[in-house]
Structure 1
Amino acid sequence: MRTVIVFNHPYPESYCNAILESITKGLQKSGQEIDLIHLDQNNFNPRMTSEDLKAFVEHKAVDPLVLDYHARLKKAEHLVFIFPIWWDIMPAATKGFVDRVLSPGLAYDHHPRGYGLIPLLKNLKTITVITTMNKPKIMYSLLIGNLISKVMIKSIFKSMGYKNVR
């Protein structure tokens, strides 16, 4: 199985990095192929430019790094996101990855009847989102609501038609 990990944390000593190491070791022990997309080490620019937006509307990409990510995602059977929760939501690089990489023509397409979305990453069997935060879970859940679940799981991947997302 080929697992693509999208990782976003700039600090090498972070808990997210410890999670990444643990997951990588476990996947390697089970003989799985791992493809790490390290947004910070790649200097991924989360900002969508006017050229990016034009390409998004045309269901293509122009940025060479985004094109590279597209090719890697097409081969993924499992997709894992690892990032911290900052100010109750994902960091800018993770949001930029969603905006610029998980685009129409690659991750999904519009249903021909005009409503709903169709998943296009045909090899993708599962999607996992792993986050860390320093706010107590009860405060996050009661005061804010689980924004990551609402955004990453429900709004993005389930809306695109992907079923096995956790």
Structure 2
Amino acid sequence: MKILVIFNHPYEGSYCAAILEQIRTGLAAGGHELDLIHLDRDDFDPVMRDKDLRAFALGRNDPDAAAALVDPEVLAYRDRLLAAEHIVFVFPIWWELMPARMKGFVDKVIFPGLTYGYTEKGRTGMVSYMEKLRGVTVITTMNTPSWAYRLIFGNAVPKALLRGTFWKIGVKNRRWISLSNVKSRSLEKRRAWLAMIEDRMRKLK
């Protein structure tokens, strides 16, 4: 299966970077094909600018005109999304939300006329152009306790990204792997998490 991994963490020595290595290992062991978008190495610009908002307005009725306005990098990312059979997002949760580059990727690439359109029902009837896509997995790290993130902050990231973005465009297979209290965890626990992620990537269907 062709797996697109979208990664956002600027520090090469981070736990997210260790997760990425286990993803590589697990996907290789499972015979999967990996396509990696590393937003930090790409120096991806997350800002929605005037031309992007004009493209957004055009996307529903004139996708070609919309595509002519967006950055070539966005179009290249779009093509990789359309080829993916499973998407894996990896990023830390900072101040209860995703980093700027990851949010910008969602804003600029999960975009009308590029990766989704609308049915005759209007804006509530969205349809994905990612026809090969079987599922989405989001892997996050944070130092907030899981109970606090759920009860106080409402599980903001999975609600926005999985229940919001991907549920809206019709992706049914959506999973969240949440690793909490990362800094205070033992070495054994962190290693166990990495082994779990490797196993899940190997068994992706």
Q: TM-score, normalised by structure 2?
A: 0.78
Counterpart for residue 40 of structure 1? 40
Counterpart for residue 22 of structure 1? 22
Please tell me whether residue 110 in structure 1 is matched to residue 123 in structure 2: no
Please tell me whether residue 146 in structure 1 is matched to residue 155 in structure 2: yes
**Secondary structure, aligned partner of 1:10:** coil
Worse overlay, 132-141 or 1-10: 132-141
Please tell me whether residue 64 in structure 1 is matched to residue 72 in structure 2: yes
The gaps in structure 2 that reach 5 residues or longer are 60-65, 176-205
Matches within 5 A, 1:114-129: 114=122, 115-129=124-138
Q: Which amino acid aligns with 1:57?
A: A
Runs of 4 or more consecutive aligned structure 1 residues displaced over 6 Å after TM superposition: none
Please tell me whether residue 81 in structure 1 is matched to residue 86 in structure 2: no
Larger radius of gyration, structure 1 or 2? 2
Please tell me whether residue 133 in structure 1 is matched to residue 162 in structure 2: no
Q: TM-score, normalised by structure 1?
A: 0.96
Whole-angstrom CA distance in 1 between matches of 2:114 and 2:133: 12
Aligned sequence identity (%): 51
**Secondary structure, aligned partner of 2:174:** coil
The gaps in structure 1 that reach 5 residues or longer are none
Q: Which amino acid aligns with 1:164?
A: N
What's the CA shift string for 1:69-104, capped at 9, x where partnerless? 011111100100000000001011010000000101
Task: Tell me the matched-pair count.
Answer: 166
